Amino acid sequence: MFDQKRLAALREAQSRWEKSSPSGERPAKFITASSEEINRLYSPLDLPDFDYLDDLGLPGEYPYTRGIHATGYRGRLWTMRQFAGFGSAEESNARYKYLLGQGSGGLSIAFDLPTLMGYDTDAPEAIGEFGKCGVAISSLRDMEILLDGIPLGQISTSMTINSPAAILWAMVIAVAEKQGVSPDKLRGTLQNDILKEYIAQKEYIFPPEPSMRLVVDTMEYGAQHVPQWNTISISGYHIREAGSTAAQELAFTLADGMEYVRWGITRGMDVDEFAPRLSFFFNAHNDFFEEIAKYRAARRIWAKEMRDTFHAKNPRSWLMRFHTQTAGMTLTAQQPENNIVRVALQALAAILGGSQSLHTNSMDEALALPSEKAVTIALRTQQIIASESGAANTVDPLGGAFFVEAQTNRLEVQAREYFERIEDLGGVLPAIARGFFQTEISDAAYRYQREVDSHVRTIVGVNDYVDEKPLTIPILQMDPVGYARQIERLKNLRQERDNGRTGQALDRLRLACQGTENTMPHLLDCVRAYATLGEIVNVMKEVFGMYTEPVWI
């Protein structure tokens, strides 16, 4: 806060500077990636009500604008993860071991589309999609192969899975049991963010209400039995990939997070029982300063909401812990080597914004799943930032910068305006049913593309600095017999397992779904009996039904 006399003097000096400054500027529209106009200069005049103690604070202290840890990266570097998975469990297991050997600090498992949608590899709906966007997991046997030789008691495991998240989590818990690792020793993160599926990614199976029940089942089970596991990673990443602005990503993600808190409380859980294990997942887009401000605003909003709205008593419930991934949608098939530079800048923004975990995309991901060489460069990008850039040497080095604080404030205001609009519609689920989130995102995506098409926005190598030379980078090739091996493994599994035990476990799951008890113990029984993913999901479909998105006019 600046006293009025000094503000008046600054206002006079800035007015004099603006009159004397050269008027000529490049013939460009100075906007953020979210189409927000940028001033030529930022000063305390842009922060008239900003309190440097209450709004900015200190690292590790409420409201955590400057970070959740007092020591920042001086105490511990962020976890370096590489989102990986393709083809068969054998191929992905080899990639995980390679990444861990290269210095990756944890696993981040990508699943193929049939797995994400709850289909076994040999289901008719899965034809042609085996292993293309991640690894195929149809049973506990696949998961045993995927995690073979991976010490689950030592390695943190993140899984990007949503509708069938509870089932895949049960598989990991069962593999850990076979390794002799008890559930209370497991560390990891389950994405399990079903709300953003209805909003943006569209990989849903069941209607919203039973889907939310499954999410709360994992929250409750995790709090009681797997206390070091983050049972939801509330994901703005996919909202941004669908075309949202930074403010929409921020607002919709936090609105989803608060909805999960409400459902947990309604279940009868104390907020401090589960809130410390909620985590977040954000995008690192191209606009360097806007992204940094977004992370800072997110921490501040979450802390205020958890303390003042939900009355959490434990300060750990106020902390926003988040993973970041560089923006896949910004990668270009044209001049793919340029993506190395984009990813480096996006990764640096995530680090300066205080991310606890980071995945850097590979240069070839606009063309195919990443090759070993490309993924190594992506990992080395993080290691260079950590070891050579100096970015990790002090906490929140951009904190207090007028431009950054003005952007942080602007994003918080815009997010809160969205909260009011969502509340006016009756909350998150009614807003989804009315197409509010979907329409807001599609409008933003359309505006962004129009700016690219009209050259208001430059994409190097796409609409400017174009080079028509043919591509020369190698593309990943999957094992040509991986699909046949997977189909044979499923066939053998169904013949070799105790089918009576499997059927009984599925019947008990059906009864649990029809009632109100927590489904996790029954999912674990099904998985241990080697019921397949598709068999388990089909039982749930019988009880819950399937979701079809309405058409909005």
Report pLDDT for 2: 67
Query: Which positions ≥6 away from 493 have C-beta within 8 Å?
Result: 139, 141, 530, 532
| Res 1 pLDDT > 80 | no
| Res 407 pLDDT > 90 | yes
Q: Which domains does the chain have, with CATH numbers?
A: 74-453 (3.20.20.240)
CA distance 118 to 116: 6
Tens digit of each residue's pLDDT (9 = 90 or more) over 67-114 = 999 999 999 999 998 888 999 999 999 999 999 999 988 888 999 999
Tens digit of each residue's pLDDT (9 = 90 or more) over 169-195 = 999 999 999 999 999 999 999 999 999
Tens digit of each residue's pLDDT (9 = 90 or more) over 298-322 = 999 999 999 999 999 999 999 999 9
CA distance 440 to 63: 29
Structure tokens at 377: 């460069």
Closest CA relative to residue 350, chosen from 280, 441, 262, 259: 280
Beta strand 357-359 pairing with 79-84: parallel
Residue pointed to by tokens 């910068």: 401
* Residue 63: cis peptide before it, omega within 30 degrees of 0: yes
| Res 129 pLDDT > 90 | yes
Query: Which positions ≥6 away from 192 have C-beta within 8 Å?
Result: 161, 162, 165, 166, 169, 215, 218, 231, 232, 233
Structure tokens at 422: 């969502």
Please provide the distance, in angstroms rounded to a whole number, between the alpha carbons at the two ends of the chain.
48
Report pLDDT for 469: 82
Distance of CA 47 to the CA centre of its chain: 31
Average pLDDT of the residues in 32-37: 93
Give residue 237's identity as a one-letter amino acid code: Y
Report pLDDT for 107: 87
Average pLDDT of the residues in 39-53: 86
Return the percentage of the chain with pLDDT > 70, whole number: 99
C-alpha distances (whole Å) from 168 to each of 81, 189, 524 are 19, 12, 10
Average pLDDT of the residues in 125-142: 96
- Long-range Cβ pairs for the range 82-85 (8 Å, 24+): 82/108, 82/359, 82/360, 82/375, 82/378, 82/379, 83/108, 83/110, 83/160, 83/325, 83/359, 84/108, 84/109, 84/110, 84/370, 84/375, 85/109, 85/110, 85/111, 85/112, 85/134, 85/135
CB atoms within 10 A of CB 408: 29
- What is the crossing angle of helices 482-496 and 89-101, to 10°? 110
| Res 502 pLDDT > 70 | yes
Beta strand 357-359 pairing with 232-235: unpaired
Lowest mean pLDDT among 14-23, 240-249, 269-278, 514-523: 14-23
**Phi (first) and psi of residue 82, to 5 degrees:** -125, 115
Whether residue 122 contacts residue 68, with contact meaning beta carbons closer than 8 Å, is answered with no
